[in-house]
Structure 1
Amino acid sequence: MKRVAALLLLASLSANAFAFAPFVVSDIRIDGLSRIAAGTVYNYLPVDKGDRMTNAQAQRAIRALYDTKFFTDVEFSREGDILVIKVVERPSISKLTLRGNKDIKSDDLKKGLKEIGLAEGETFDRLALDRVRQELIHQYYNRGKYNVSVLPHVTKLDRNRVAVEIEIREGKVSKIKEINILGNHAFTDKEIRDDFESGTTNWTSWYSKNDQYSREKLSGDMEKLQSYYMNRGYADFGIDSTQVTIAPDKRTMYVAADVKEGEIYKVTAVKLLGDLILPESTLRHLVIVAPGDTFNRAAVEASTDGIKALLANLGYAFAKVTSIPKLDKEKRTVDLTLYVEPGERVYVRRVVFQGNTRTEDSVLRREMRQLEGTFYSQAAVDRSKIRLQRLGYFKKVDIDKKLVPGTQDKVDVTVKVEEQSAGSMQFGVGYSQYSGMILSASVSQNNLFGSGDSFAISGERSSYYTRFNLNYYNPYLTDNGIGIGYNATYSKTDYGNTELANYETSTKAFSTYLGLPLGETDSLRLGLGISSNRIVTSFYSPPQFVAYQDQIGNRTEHAWTSTIGWNHDTRNGYWAPTRGGLLSASVDVALPGSTAKYWKFFAQANHYWPVGLGFVLYLDGQVGYGESYGKNGISDEQFEALKAASAKENPNHVLTDMRNDFPFWQNFYSGGVRDVRGFQDNTLGPRSCVGPSATQNANGTCTGGYYSYAQPIGGAFKVLGTAQVFIPLPFLKDINTARVSWFMDVGNAYKDYQSFDAKMLRASTGLSLQWQAPIGPLIISLAVPIRSQKEDHHYEERVQFTFGSQF
Structure 2
Amino acid sequence: MTRIAAPRLLSLALASALAVAQPASAQQFEPFTVADIRVEGLQRITAGTVFSYLPVERGDLMDRNRAGVAIRALFRTGFFNDVRLDRQGDILVITVEERPAINKITLVGNKDIKTDDLMRGLRDIGLAEGETFDRLNLERVTQELTRQYNNRGKYNVSIRPSVTQLDRNRVDITIDIKEGKAARIRHINIVGNRNFEQDEIRKGWESNTSNWLSWYRRDDQYSREKLSGDLEKLNSFYLDRGYVDFNVESTQVSISPDNRDMFIVANITEGEVYTVSSIEVTGETILPHEEISKLVFLQPGMTFSRGLIEFSSDAIVNVLSNIGYAFARVTPIPEVDRENRTIAIRMFVEPGQRVQVRRIVFRGNNRTSDEVLRREMRQFESSWYSQAAIDRSKVRLQRLGFFETVDIETPEVPGTADQVDVVVNVKERQSGQLSFGLGYSQLAGLITSVQLSQDNFLGTGNRIAVAVQNNAYSRRFDFSYFDPYFTDEGISVGYNVRYSEFNRGDFNVAQFTTDNGAVQAVFGLPITETDSVGLSIGIDRNDITTVDGLTPPSLIQYMVDTMGDRARFPVFCLADEEDPDAPCVETPGNNRKWRVNAWRSELFWSRDSRNHFFVPTRGTVQRLGAEIALPGSDLEYWKLSYQYSRYWPISRALVLNTNADIGWGRGYGNTKGFDLPFFENFYAGGTRSVRGFEDNTLGPCEFASPLSTRCQSIGGSFKTVGGVELIFPTLFDTDAARVSAFLDVGNVFRNTREFDSGDLRASVGMALQWQAPIGPIIISYAYPIRKKDGDRLERLQFTFGTVF
TM-score by length of 1: 0.86
Q: Which residue of 2 aligns with 1:803?
A: 800
Q: Which residue of 2 aligns with 1:508?
A: 517
Relative distance call for 1:359 and 1:18 in structure 2 (3 A) is farther
Q: 1:224 aligns with which of 225, 233, 236?
A: 233
SS at match of 1:682: coil
Q: Do residues 750 (structure 1) and 743 (structure 2) align?
A: no
Relative distance call for 1:11 and 1:472 in structure 2 (3 A) is closer
Q: Which moved more, 1:348-357 or 1:128-137?
A: 348-357
8 Å CA contact 2:403, 2:428 repeated in 1: yes
Q: Which residue of 2 aligns with 1:99?
A: 108
Q: Do residues 271 (structure 1) and 310 (structure 2) align?
A: no
Q: Which residue of 1 aligns with 2:689?
A: 675
Structure 1 residue 148, shift from structure 2 partner: 1.3
8 Å CA contact 1:608, 1:619 repeated in 2: yes
Letter in 2 for 1:552: M
Q: 1:579 aligns with which of 618, 635, 659?
A: 618
Q: Which residue of 1 aligns with 2:144?
A: 135
Q: Which residue of 1 aligns with 2:337?
A: 328
SS at match of 1:627: strand
Q: Which moved more, 1:285-294 or 1:587-596?
A: 587-596
Q: 1:256 aligns with which of 261, 265, 268?
A: 265
Relative distance call for 1:94 and 1:533 in structure 2 (3 A) is same
Instruction: Map 1:48-87 onto structure 2 (within 5 A).
Output: 63-75=72-84, 84-87=93-96
What is the CA–CA distance in structure 1 between the aligned matches of 2:284 and 2:62, rounded to whole Å? 63
Superposed CA offset, 1:444-499 (max 9, x none)? 33233444333333344565333333333333334443333332322212245676
8 Å CA contact 1:175, 1:211 repeated in 2: yes
Q: 1:186 aligns with which of 183, 188, 195?
A: 195
SS at match of 1:34: coil
SS at match of 2:461: coil
Superposed CA offset, 1:523-582 (max 9, x none)? 333333332221112323333433443442582223333333322101111222111011
8 Å CA contact 1:743, 1:768 repeated in 2: no
Relative distance call for 1:774 and 1:51 in structure 2 (3 A) is same
What is the CA–CA distance in structure 1 between the aligned matches of 2:668 and 2:15, rounded to whole Å? 98
What is the CA–CA distance in structure 2 between the aligned matches of 1:499 and 1:744, rounded to whole Å? 20
8 Å CA contact 2:603, 2:626 repeated in 1: yes
Q: Which residue of 1 aligns with 2:680?
A: 666
Aligned Cα root-mean-square deviation (Å): 3.2
Q: Which moved more, 1:662-671 or 1:377-386?
A: 662-671
What is the CA–CA distance in structure 2 between the aligned matches of 1:182 and 1:315, rounded to whole Å? 48
Q: Which residue of 2 aligns with 1:724?
A: 725
Q: Which residue of 2 aligns with 1:641?
A: none
Q: Do residues 741 (structure 1) and 741 (structure 2) align?
A: yes
Relative distance call for 1:601 and 1:47 in structure 2 (3 A) is farther
8 Å CA contact 1:434, 1:499 repeated in 2: no
Letter in 2 for 1:761: L
Q: Which residue of 1 aligns with 2:698?
A: 684
Letter in 2 for 1:796: L
Letter in 2 for 1:394: F
What is the CA–CA distance in structure 1 between the aligned matches of 2:244 and 2:119, rounded to whole Å? 45
Letter in 2 for 1:571: R
Q: 2:559 aligns with which of 542, 549, 563?
A: 549
Relative distance call for 1:246 and 1:662 in structure 2 (3 A) is closer
Q: Which residue of 2 aligns with 1:649?
A: none
Relative distance call for 1:234 and 1:38 in structure 2 (3 A) is same
Structure 1 residue 268, shift from structure 2 partner: 0.7
Q: Which moved more, 1:64-73 or 1:149-158?
A: 64-73
Relative distance call for 1:496 and 1:623 in structure 2 (3 A) is closer
Instruction: Map 1:396-411 onto structure 2 (within 5 A).
Output: 396-411=405-420
Q: Which residue of 1 aligns with 2:465?
A: 456
8 Å CA contact 2:100, 2:132 repeated in 1: yes
Superposed CA offset, 1:230-251 (max 9, x none)? 1222111000111111222222
What is the CA–CA distance in structure 2 between the aligned matches of 1:291 and 1:4, rounded to whole Å? 72
Q: 1:490 aligns with which of 499, 510, 527?
A: 499
Letter in 1 for 2:713: P
What is the CA–CA distance in structure 1 between the aligned matches of 2:294 and 2:794, rounded to whole Å? 56
Relative distance call for 1:404 and 1:90 in structure 2 (3 A) is farther
Relative distance call for 1:612 and 1:55 in structure 2 (3 A) is same
Query: Structure 2: which 5+ residue stretches go unaligned?
Result: 1-12, 565-592
Q: Which residue of 1 aligns with 2:293?
A: 284
Q: Which residue of 2 aligns with 1:471?
A: 480
Letter in 2 for 1:727: F
What is the CA–CA distance in structure 1 between the aligned matches of 2:263 and 2:391, rounded to whole Å? 43
What is the CA–CA distance in structure 2 between the aligned matches of 1:38 and 1:614, rounded to whole Å? 59
Q: Which residue of 2 aligns with 1:714?
A: 715
Q: Which residue of 2 aligns with 1:766?
A: 765
What is the CA–CA distance in structure 2 between the aligned matches of 1:417 and 1:196, rounded to whole Å? 33
What is the CA–CA distance in structure 1 between the aligned matches of 2:21 and 2:514, rounded to whole Å? 97
Relative distance call for 1:43 and 1:675 in structure 2 (3 A) is same
Structure 1 residue 257, shift from structure 2 partner: 0.9
Letter in 1 for 2:559: Q
Q: Which residue of 2 aligns with 1:519?
A: 528
Q: Which residue of 2 aligns with 1:304?
A: 313
TM-score by length of 2: 0.87
8 Å CA contact 2:333, 2:347 repeated in 1: yes
Relative distance call for 1:754 and 1:89 in structure 2 (3 A) is same
Letter in 2 for 1:799: L
What is the CA–CA distance in structure 2 between the aligned matches of 1:431 and 1:10, rounded to whole Å? 74
Superposed CA offset, 1:359-397 (max 9, x none)? 444433332323333332211221122122222233322
Relative distance call for 1:566 and 1:539 in structure 2 (3 A) is same
Q: Which residue of 2 aligns with 1:647?
A: none
Identity %: 50
